[in-house]
A and B are shown apart, each in its own frame.
Chain A
Amino acid sequence: GQQVMQIPQYQHVQEGEDFTTYCNSSTTLSNIQWYKQRPGGHPVFLIQLVKSGEVKKQKRLTFQFGEAKKNSSLHITATQTTDVGTYFCAGSGTSYGKLTFGQGTILTVHP
């Protein structure tokens, strides 16, 4: 079945440093989504990428979808303490609408 791998599992940064998490799928994806889960909370949708090579930005967050549509990345510039949480990628392959989540990257930001 479809597998989505995400690295790193943990990332500790000082406030102001950049952060990147990477997502790789075992199969070609029709789209990829990114979610953020705050400690004790539930996953909240951030963005969706659909096109090969697509790049989207949300303020300090930059999302990329690979040319082969099998990998993606999320980059945060100049992290803030409000960025703390777990970032998940979730891929949808040939199964209509079925989302498979990566393991997530837990980000801690030290002030």
Chain B
Amino acid sequence: DARVTQTPRHKVTEMGQEVTMRCQPILGHNTVFWYRQTMMQGLELLAYFRNRAPLDDSGMPKDRFSAEMPDATLATLKIQPSEPRDSAVYFCASGPGSLGEKLFFGSGTQLSVL
């Protein structure tokens, strides 16, 4: 089964440290989304790529977050410096790139910033 792969599954770090989360989208998919899930805010869209180009990152705090797609098989989300309020589950999802596409989610990265 084709699936979206996210690493690491869990990350515990101290405030101020850099955090890098990685995502391997499904082969052939050309859209990639990063979502953050918390109990209070639900699923928030952080960034959205199509054909590796960032289309929308308005939901992402620019001062500390950055998202990139160095190649078609890898998307990264970095937080530097991390803060306790960044603790959440971060999901990557990919889609085939057609209007109204369904998204395939990875298993997520559970981030805890102490």
Contacts and interface: CB of A to CB of B under 8 A. Distances in A.
26 contacts: A30-B100, A33-B103, A42-B91, A42-B105, A43-B91, A43-B93, A43-B103, A45-B102, A88-B43, A92-B100, A96-B50, A96-B99, A97-B31, A97-B48, A97-B97, A97-B99, A97-B101, A98-B45, A98-B55, A98-B56, A99-B33, A100-B45, A101-B35, A101-B42, A101-B45, A104-B42
Interface string A1-44: 10000000000000000000000000000110101000001111
Interface in B11-25: none
A90 to B, nearest CB: 8
* Interface size, B (range): 20 to 34
Nearest to A46: B102
B43 A42 contact: no
3 residue pairs, one from A and one from B, having the closest CB atoms: A101-B43, A45-B102, A42-B105
Interface of A: 1, 30-31, 33, 35, 41-45, 48, 50, 88, 90, 92, 95-104
A35 B104 CA distance: 10
B107 interface: yes
B107 A42 contact: yes
A45 B43 CA distance: 14
